[in-house]
Amino acid sequence: MKRFSKLVTVLFIAAIGLTANAQSKLGHINSQELLSAMPETDSAQKKLEKIAMEHDLALEEMTVEFNKKLEDYNQKYNQLSELVKATKEAELQDLQSRVQTFQQTAEQDLQRQRMQIFQPIQEKAVRAVNDVAKENGFTYIFDAGTGAVVYMGDDAIDILPLVKAKLGLK
């Protein structure tokens, strides 16, 4: 989404130089609303949720294993020799470290997957916005969904219906 707003900003700045003296046709769109209306977004979100559930399940299994070993260690603490205590403590520390590493890695993986899954959807939306803007003679399109609009006059045109139509959405 940041890429979309950066693209809009760059296009806006470039267009200012080219059309400073020309009559400008302005439009706005809520990119979040557009992306929410696209059916690909639902399937992408479900795919991400499945990945997150897999990560959560693996993390839960590791946590259960850690808790069982910790409970066993605590119950047998007084009966263990110093060598066995040290070995079990090292094992617990190692397991705890692996749990933390997995958690961090899973978060990074989910973020990477999110970017990979949503990039084609965002690119499709940007292409549709660009096509609609060109076909309808717009000079500027502002993304009202990101808060990038400082002022939007009453005569600004919301192109969301046109982009939805372009994508075959209701």
Q: Is the pLDDT of residue 152 over 60?
A: no
How much is the pLDDT for 89? 95
Residue-wise pLDDT for 52-86, tens only, equals 999 999 999 999 999 999 999 999 999 999 999 99
Q: Where are the domains of the chain?
A: 2-167
* % the chain with pLDDT above 70: 82
Residue 156, pLDDT score: 73
Of the CA atoms within 13 Å of residue 127, those in its CB half-sphere come to 8
Q: Is 160 exposed, middle or buried (0-12, 13-18, 19+ CB in 10 A)?
A: buried
pLDDT at 78: 94
Q: How far apart are the first and last CA of the chain?
A: 22
Q: At what angle do helices 39-76 and 82-135 cross, to 10 degrees?
A: 170
Chain centroid to CA 45: 9
